[in-house]
Structure 1
Amino acid sequence: MNQPDVAIANRQKSTTGRSYEPPAPKWVKTSLSALNAVAPQAAAGLLQHLFTTPPRVAMRPEERAVLATAQRWQSRVRGELMSGYEWGDAHAPAVLLLHGWGGHAGHMSAMVAPLLAAGYRVLAVDVPGHGNSPRAKVALPHFHEALEDMAQRAGRDQVHGVIAHSFGAAGTTYALSRGLKIPRAVFVGPMTQFGALWDAVRSRTGVPRSLIQRMITRMEARFCLGFDEVEPVALAGTLTTPLLVLHDLDDDKVSVAQGEALVARWPGAALRTSSQLGHLKILKDAASVNAAVAFLARP
């Protein structure tokens, strides 16, 4: 095993994530393989382009109906346009909703009515490249800064809690580690170990570990961060925000082992599991939603 292989193997230890998307088209695999043979850095650039371009997921009619009742707004994150939504009394404490990779604000829509009924104001966004926001190439810092942007709009002293899904939980953890103050947090199906992302890329594309390592190195230079240092399980031990993790035992995208790993390292964090809901249905499951709202409402 060469040095890049060792680096990737180390990143993947104890990671039990699953594939996030179906296998890439054959032409993508063939193109990456051919380009890697003659121009490895160009191949890494192409892989980075594919990796940082989130898939688009259509909204369901019931999700659109909830978003249609919101006050709409727009802002920019790292120069990219972002669509935002707000519900409720402008003077009420705010709860921020952050979707996952390839998701959109509609995925969080079942949270809105219960939060409003509990007396909160609710804000949500389509992170750049997602939902109703224009297409863009994005990464962890965009999720972090999308949350910062919501907090700024809500009034930082008015923010009471955050509910984040999947990769949105990674962005939230990073934001908390960089000083964003949020009294309580709920993570749903959280992505906590980035080795799962590299596993997914390799599974989808069939590229060698050495090419994934080159992509990682390019991205770390581009965003001035080290993925090993900013993954949620690495940051968890430094955080004191009260945290509830909701994770389904049958999650088909992010293994419950990732939620367990985060709770084991985050002081005082609690885990609530469910079954037969998977990665998305848990967001609309009444018992899970009620558990999230009840946790945020604790004194």
Structure 2
Amino acid sequence: MASFAIKVIRHALKGVAALSPEAAGSLAFNLFSVTPGRKPKNAKEKAALAAAEPVIAKARPVTLSYAGGWVLARQFAAPHGAANAKRILLVHGWGSRSDYLAAMIDGLVKGGAEVVTLDWPGHGGSPGRTLTMPAAVRAIDAAWRHFGNFDVCVGHSFGGASLACAAGGIVCDVRSHVAKKLVLIGAPSEMTWLFKGFGKVLRLAPKTQAAFEGVVERLSGRRLEEFDAARIIGVLAVPTLIIHAEDDKEVAADHARRYAAAGQNVEIHWANGLGHRRIVSAAPVIARINAFIHAEDQKAAA
């Protein structure tokens, strides 16, 4: 059953749509883009943030500006004397923050890499209360411009899809940034399903739904259906590791299968039993990512 707030929003949007479907669509997009609160929701999240502090304290914080705002990046140096250290861009998902990736940061650094993380707009240490895919792509562009090329890009959930879209140059005024390898964890393969699902929850009329989706083109110069991460991965033919759990209740496993069908450059690793969030901290997952990242170096040393 819909909450009272949802019922009020539906009624308000219906009233606005009677006068202007375009205005109602814009309002719906504004609601869609609002980010969750940053405060830990429960004792488990408080404990996770506390446990992350020793790892996060090792970082060098960097402020990155982009058209529309700025984001907080953190740079974690590779271990002293690490041979052939890879530079990795690591990004979190919607409603998360870099701190929740502390186990992965620690594991990737110990594996012999320099790691750069981003807190998305409206998340963690970055300002704002909204996030859009075009803004995420611009934040990724800011990281590339500041730090130089990345050998590997690793992203969880929304972050994974954002990395794919950034690699595909999907925002018309931002150059594409293609790493040598990609790792996408519990990531959606396209964005249309989110918009359709949100429109269904708010019971948007067809004209309002079209206006809602049309905001994407105004922000990025691309239609919503062009934000197809699986298609982009297939076209780029970059070695890509997809990690997903079949029990993921937030991003269905069919998204992983869709990535896997995109091309022979894609390999899939099922991390069943880890759901959508625990997957980023699981030691076997981190080990699998390190093996993928350093595969050529390991072969050369054999």
Common topology (TM > 0.5): yes
Query: Is 1:228 matched with 2:234?
Result: no
1:259·1:271 contact (CA, 8 Å) conserved in 2? Answer: yes
Q: How does 1:114-125 map to 2 (within 5 A)?
A: 114-125=107-118
Q: Which whole-Å CA distance do the structure 1 matches of 2:53 and 2:97 have between them?
A: 11
> Residue 37 of structure 2 aligns with which residue?
56
1:248·1:278 contact (CA, 8 Å) conserved in 2? Answer: yes
CA offset at residue 76 of structure 1? 1.4
Q: Which whole-Å CA distance do the structure 2 matches of 1:267 and 1:135 have between them?
A: 39
2:64·2:143 contact (CA, 8 Å) conserved in 1? Answer: no
User: Number of paired residues?
Assistant: 276
Q: 2:21 aligns with which of 33, 36, 40?
A: 40
Q: 2:264 aligns with which of 263, 267, 270?
A: 267
Q: Which whole-Å CA distance do the structure 2 matches of 1:93 and 1:234 have between them?
A: 26
CA offset at residue 140 of structure 1? 1.6
SS at match of 1:25: helix
Deviates more, 1:166-175 or 1:140-149: 140-149
1:72·1:83 contact (CA, 8 Å) conserved in 2? Answer: yes
Distance 1:125 1:24, change over 3 A: farther
Deviates more, 1:77-86 or 1:195-204: 195-204
> Residue 3 of structure 1 aligns with which residue?
none
CA offset at residue 203 of structure 1? 4.0
> Residue 201 of structure 1 aligns with which residue?
198
Q: Which whole-Å CA distance do the structure 1 matches of 2:208 and 2:53 have between them?
A: 40
1:95·1:162 contact (CA, 8 Å) conserved in 2? Answer: yes
Q: Which whole-Å CA distance do the structure 2 matches of 1:181 and 1:235 have between them?
A: 11
Deviates more, 1:222-231 or 1:256-265: 222-231
Please list the CA deviations of residues 114-168 of structure 1 after superposition, one character each: whole Å capped at 9, or x if unmatched.
1111111110011112221111433222222222222333322xx2211111121
Q: How does 1:166-177 map to 2 (within 5 A)?
A: 166-177=157-168
Aligned-residue Cα RMSD (Å) equals: 2.2
Q: Which whole-Å CA distance do the structure 2 matches of 1:71 and 1:111 have between them?
A: 17
Deviates more, 1:54-63 or 1:190-199: 54-63
Deviates more, 1:26-35 or 1:61-70: 61-70
SS at match of 1:96: strand
2:60·2:74 contact (CA, 8 Å) conserved in 1? Answer: yes
> Residue 5 of structure 1 aligns with which residue?
none
Distance 1:233 1:210, change over 3 A: farther
Q: Which whole-Å CA distance do the structure 1 matches of 2:263 and 2:277 have between them?
A: 24
Query: Is 1:296 matched with 2:285?
Result: no
Given the two structures, how large is their TM-score scaled by the length of structure 2? 0.84
> Residue 61 of structure 2 aligns with which residue?
72
Deviates more, 1:144-153 or 1:278-287: 144-153
> Residue 142 of structure 1 aligns with which residue?
135
2:98·2:124 contact (CA, 8 Å) conserved in 1? Answer: yes
2:234·2:265 contact (CA, 8 Å) conserved in 1? Answer: no
Please list the CA deviations of residues 66-89 of structure 1 after superposition, one character each: whole Å capped at 9, or x if unmatched.
323311111112231201111114
Please list the CA deviations of residues 198-243 of structure 1 after superposition, one character each: whole Å capped at 9, or x if unmatched.
2331243232343221111122123211121231123232112111
Query: Is 1:31 matched with 2:12?
Result: yes
Q: Which whole-Å CA distance do the structure 1 matches of 2:51 and 2:57 have between them?
A: 10
Please list the CA deviations of residues 47-82 of structure 1 after superposition, one character each: whole Å capped at 9, or x if unmatched.
111112222344532234432331111111223120
Distance 1:100 1:24, change over 3 A: farther
> Residue 160 of structure 1 aligns with which residue?
151
2:247·2:274 contact (CA, 8 Å) conserved in 1? Answer: yes
* Structure having greater relative contact order (Cα 8 Å, sep ≥ 6): 1
**Amino-acid identity (%):** 24
Deviates more, 1:24-33 or 1:283-292: 24-33
1:98·1:147 contact (CA, 8 Å) conserved in 2? Answer: no
CA offset at residue 90 of structure 1? 9.3
Given the two structures, how large is their TM-score scaled by the length of structure 1? 0.85
Query: Is 1:129 matched with 2:126?
Result: no
